[in-house]
Amino acid sequence: MKLVQAYQFALDLTPAQERTLLAHAGAARVAHNWALARVKAVMNQRAAERTYDVPYEALTPAVGWSLPALRKAWNAAKQDVAPWWRQCSKEAFNTGLDALARALKNWSDSRSGRRAGRPIGFPRFKSRRHATASVRFTTGAIRVEPDRMHVVLPRLGRLKLHESARKLARRLDNGTARIMSATARRGGGRWHVSFTVEVERAERPAARPDSVVGVDVGIKHLAVLSTGELVDNPRHLDAAQTRLRALGRAMSRKQGPDRRTGQRPSNRWQQAAKRLGRAHTRVANLRRDSLHKLTTRLARGHGTIVVEDLNVAGMLRNQRLARHVADASFAELRRQLAYKAEWSSSQLIVADRWYPSSKTCSGCGAVKTKLALSEREYKCEACGLSIDRDLNAARNLAALAAEATTAGSGPGAGREADRQTRISGQVAVKRQPGAAQAGQTGTVPPKGRATNRVLTRSHRKVTDHVSH
């Protein structure tokens, strides 16, 4: 199967190469700000004319904000706006224009209701000191050198890598990969290059295709599996708090920037800010590494994985748990499971946000009306089952796989199906006592293996708190 995959490598640049990259990132910012100012000026002019009851036909002509339209306008004005444009690659200006075109489209779709999710604001101008330096190349010489320790980018030449690119080079040599674009970006105190690659991957089935596992994420344990395994939460941010506080206090004692007076930061403040940024980058890298190891093991080991659709944005409003929820990174765990399940020909099932996995008894299916977050032991009043709260939720999630497989066994439920499976019924899954053990042991064969489905149960909204 063909899919798009990214390969990221750190760069070891010379001072001259870093200045060239910064110049290209600045060119992208100039093109973005110029095009945004042009669009805003025309929009404001048309709004002012409407207040004077100017007929629609007599309004100032609107300007297009698609990428081709922005490119045409930039090429006509670049000699006056940026007479130094020949010193940078055309891809640098295209980077800024493409970012603006996508931002304006997202804003327009959000206002008209064509884009789901939270409202998208109008694009803002990019600051020289606060914008992330980035430039994207889609044409020209983009390749990995035979020594696998250097890459070649347009107008930048040969750049040294901090690590070997052998994994990407092997696929390129075998003809199973094609580089589509390369993005150079500065973050965490150093530059990285990311290659967007079209890869031909052989289907690699899971080690146990008939195995079903429910995953209940939380704070005390990052994940509790229906098999009984407890995955500890590394709490990388908590472990680094002592050093982060020390670096933050050291930076506050230096002379920082002041926008009100125009004061420039001192060199020592900039050095302290870099040290603090590197410390935060290390925490992010450790978190990402632990999540990759967990999601890879789940996707390769089980044929069906069931997770919850958590309201992470709502959890972050809890001031006592916000930092711990953000450190656990529930959304990133689900995102990685989504594409890794496809790589392993597994099935990812997403339970509805209102499904009461913690309040439902995994033995008899009875549902509690209230379950405090402090109650870590689930005790069923109907059948007398006493079990850990998180393990009970994981077993309930695993039991949902049988219902999802039954609902998705019709036409169009194969690997290429792209739809949401709706299952009608009550809030709780009605099953006979002992039915949860079938989902726990993993005896349900996945029908549509690489399809991500959402089980919707919106007849009654029952809040299911995240595990503490």
Cβ count within 10 A of residue 139: 11
Residues 365 and 430: their CA atoms lie apart, in Å, by 6
Q: Angle formed by the axes of helices 267-301 and 241-252, to 10°?
A: 160
CA nearest to 361, candidates 461, 282, 428, 409: 428
91, 327, 390, 403: which one is catalytic? 390
CA nearest to 310, candidates 291, 286, 326, 289: 326
Q: Are 351 and 455 in contact (CB under 8 A)?
A: yes
CA angle 230, 235, 240 (to 5 degrees): 155
CA nearest to 341, candidates 311, 369, 307, 302: 302
Matching residue, tokens 């931002």? 103
Residues 142 and 152: their CA atoms lie apart, in Å, by 5
Residues 275 and 245: their CA atoms lie apart, in Å, by 12
Q: What token pair was written down for 464?
A: 């299911």
Q: Are 386 and 420 in contact (CB under 8 A)?
A: no
98, 308, 352, 464: which one is catalytic? 308
126: DSSP letter: P
Active site residue 232: no
Active site residue 163: no
Q: Are 237 and 308 in contact (CB under 8 A)?
A: no
Active site residue 308: yes
CA nearest to 193, candidates 227, 162, 172, 232: 162
For the four alpha carbons of 72, 73, 78 and 79, in that order, the dihedral sign comes to: positive
At position 291, the amino acid (one-letter code) is L
**Backbone φ, ψ for residue 264 (5° rounding):** -85, 145
- Residue 258: helix, strand or coil by DSSP? strand
Residues 282 and 236: their CA atoms lie apart, in Å, by 9
85: DSSP letter: G
Residues 109 and 122: their CA atoms lie apart, in Å, by 11
What is the C-alpha radius of gyration for the chain, rounded to an integer number of angstroms?
Answer: 27
91, 98, 216, 327: which one is catalytic? 216
Hey, which residues are catalytic here?
216, 308, 390
